Amino acid sequence: MFEIKIIRSPFGDFYNREIEDCNKSYPDWYLKEINQQNFNGIWLHSILRDIIKSNIFPEFGKKEKEQIYQLNKLVERCDKFGIKVFLYLCEPRGFKEDDPFWIKNFDVKGQICDFGKLWGRHYALCSSTEKVKNFLYESSYNLFKKVKGLGGAFLITASEFHTHCYSHFPKHIHLVKHFREMVDWTKLGFYCKRCEKRQPYEVVCEIIKLIRDGIKDANSKAEIIAWDWSWSIIEPEPQENLIKNLPKDVILMSDFERGGYKFFNNKRYIIDEYSLSYIGPSPRFKRHFYIAKKYGHKVMAKLQFSTTHEFVTVPYIPVIFNVAEKIEKLKKIGGDGFLYCWIFGGGINVVSKLTGIMSNENISKYKAIKRVVKEEFGEKTSDYVVKAWENFSESFKNYPFSIPFIYNGPINYAVVYPFNINAEKVDLISSWLPLPRDKKGYLKVGDNLETWIGELKPKFYISQLKKTAREWKKGIEILEKGIKIEENERLQKEIDIARHIYFSFKSTSNIIEFYLSLRNYKKNKGKKWVKKILKILKEELEITEKDKKIWMRNKEFGYHPEAFENFIKEKDFNYKIGILKNQIEILKKLNRRNNF
C-alpha cells in the first residue's frame, strides 16, 4: 500500500546521545515488533558537523569514530529485519554568537537570530558561500559512503535549529504578521549581504540539492525526503516555487493536519500543528500534494500517532477511529508513505498495530479495528471497546486546539497542579520542557493564563474542555460495563488511561476557572467568588485523590518523552492534596466570615 513507513523508538535520546546509544534504543525485540507491524524504516537525529569529518572545516567530526561505528552496527542489525535507517538532517547547523568557531570562520557567518532566554543568539552558516556549499556536499557524500546501507534522509529546512540565513527570517513579513514569533525574528533586520539578493526558496532548494547530490553520489538507492515543515517562513502558500525547484527524485513530505481548521460555534480555529483531534488532510496538505504530483514527485505524509502535544503523557490517546480515518484518507488521496511520529509516539501499542494492518492491507477501518480489539482485549469485551473508542474519537474532536495551549498549557500535569489561593503572577511555562520546581522539588506554578490561552477567550477553553470531558465520560462508562462481563487486566488498563485523560480535561478547565475566580475575588471581594473557589477546590480534591489511585498502578502516566521527565510524581499528588485540604478549611471559615 505505502512504499515508505517510518517509525521511531520511544527510547531514543533525540537531544543528546542519539547516535551513540542507538543500538540500545533499538533492541531486537523492538525491531522485530515493528517489522511484524509492517514498518520498514526508523529514523535518527544526526548532525553533520558531529558525525563526519570535513576537509573544509577541520574542527568538525569529533564524534565520527563512535557515531559511525554505532550507526553501521545499527544498519546491519536493522537489515536483518528488513528495516532501513533514515537520518533527520537540519543543515547547515549554525552556532551561538560566542562560539569559538566564528574566530577562524567569520567568512561564513550568516544571518543572526535571537531566540531570547531559551537559546540565546545564533548565527547561520551562510549557504551562499562556497565553503558551506562544499561542506554540505562533502559531508553528505562521506556519511553515506561510510555507512553504506542507510535508507536515506529527510530534511527540515525552515524553523527548528538555526541553519541557513532564511531559516528564521520571513522575507514576506507582511503576510505573517499574525505570527508574533516570526515578527520578533525580523526585528534585528537582515544581516547577510550575500543572501540579501537571493530568493529564500532558491537558498532552500540549493541546500536540498547539495545534500541530495552528496547522498546520491554515494548511494544511488538512498531516498531523499524534503519536509515542508514551516515553509511559510520561506515562501507564502502554496509554496509552488519551493516544490517545483526540488530535484525530481526528491520525495515531498507534507504535514497532514497543518493548515487545517475546526469550527466551534460558527467560528474557525486554525490547526497549525500535529493533531489527533482533527482528521485531515488539511487544505495545505492537499495543495502541496497536487503541486508535487504535477511536477512528478512522490508525496509522503508527516503524521503524529499514539500521542500529540494535545496530550502526550500517556502511552497513547485512545482515539483509534481518528487514526484509522487518517490512514484511510491518506490511502484515498494516493500518498506514497508516511512518517509515523516525531520525537515521541513510537511505542508498540494498539495504534501502531492498527497502522501496520491498515497500511499494508486493503481493509476497512471497522474490520481493522475489530481485529486489533479482539487480539488485544479478547472476544467477550470487544464490542464494548470498539464503541468506547468510537466515543473517545468523536469526543476528542471538541478539543480546544491552539498553539499556546498545547505548548504552554498545563493539561499534561493538570491532575497534580497545585491550586494556591496565594498564587502570584509567573512567566510562561513551556509544557514540552522540564517543569520548574522549587528547592523542595514541588511544582512552581502560578497565574500565567494569558501565556497559554493566547488570543482566545477563557470561556472558549472552559466550554470546550467541559464538553470534551462530558462526551469522553460516556466512553468510560461503556468500558466499565464491559469489565463487569469479564475481569480483564488489559481492559482495566484502558479504563485507567481513559479516566486519567478525563481527569486531566476536568482539572485543566478548573485551573482556568480558579484563576478567573481568584482575580475576580481580589477585585470585588464578593462572597460568591469565595463559594466558586471553594467549589473548584473540592472538585479538585476529589479528582486528585481518584487519579492518584490510578497513577499508583500506572506510574508511566505523566512521563513526557520530549522533556525526558516525569511530570507527575507521588509527592506531587501528596503536596496538592495537602494544599487543597488546608485551603478548603481556610475558605470555609472565610465564607462564614465573608473575609478573605
Question: What confidence score (pLDDT) does residue 596 get?
Answer: 46
Peptide bond into 400 cis (omega under 30): no
3 state DSSP class of 173 = helix
Residue 347 binned pLDDT confidence (cut-offs 50, 70, 90):
very high
Instruction: Indicate whether 341 pLDDT > 60.
Output: yes
The 10s digit of each residue's pLDDT in 554-584 is 999 999 999 999 999 999 999 999 999 999 9
Task: Output the average pLDDT for the chain.
Answer: 96
The 10s digit of each residue's pLDDT in 103-126 is 999 999 999 999 888 789 999 999
Which residues have CB under 8 Å from 494's CB, separation 6+?
318, 377, 385, 388, 479
Question: What confidence score (pLDDT) does residue 528 get?
Answer: 86
Q: Compute the average pLDDT of residues 79-84.
A: 98
Alpha-carbon span 191 to 569, nearest angstrom: 47
The 10s digit of each residue's pLDDT in 230-279 is 999 999 999 999 999 999 999 999 999 999 999 998 899 999 999 999 99
Instruction: Indicate whether 291 pLDDT > 70.
Output: yes
Helical (H) or strand (E) element with 337? strand 337-339
Instruction: Indicate whether 158 pLDDT > 80.
Output: yes
- Phi, psi angle pair for 382, to nearest 5°: -60, -40
Helices H / strands E in the chain, number of each: 21, 15
Alpha-carbon span 482 to 491, nearest angstrom: 8
Residue 594 binned pLDDT confidence (cut-offs 50, 70, 90):
low
Question: What confidence score (pLDDT) does residue 595 get?
Answer: 52
The 10s digit of each residue's pLDDT in 407-438 is 999 999 999 999 999 999 999 999 999 999 99
Left (φ > 0), alpha (ψ -120 to 50) or beta: where does 93 sit?
beta
Whether this prediction's pTM lies above 0.75 is answered by: yes
Question: What confidence score (pLDDT) does residue 573 get?
Answer: 98
Helical (H) or strand (E) element with 301? strand 299-302
Instruction: Indicate whether 592 pLDDT > 80.
Output: no
Q: Helices 382-396 and 320-333: crossing angle, nearest 10°? A: 70
Residue 187 binned pLDDT confidence (cut-offs 50, 70, 90):
confident
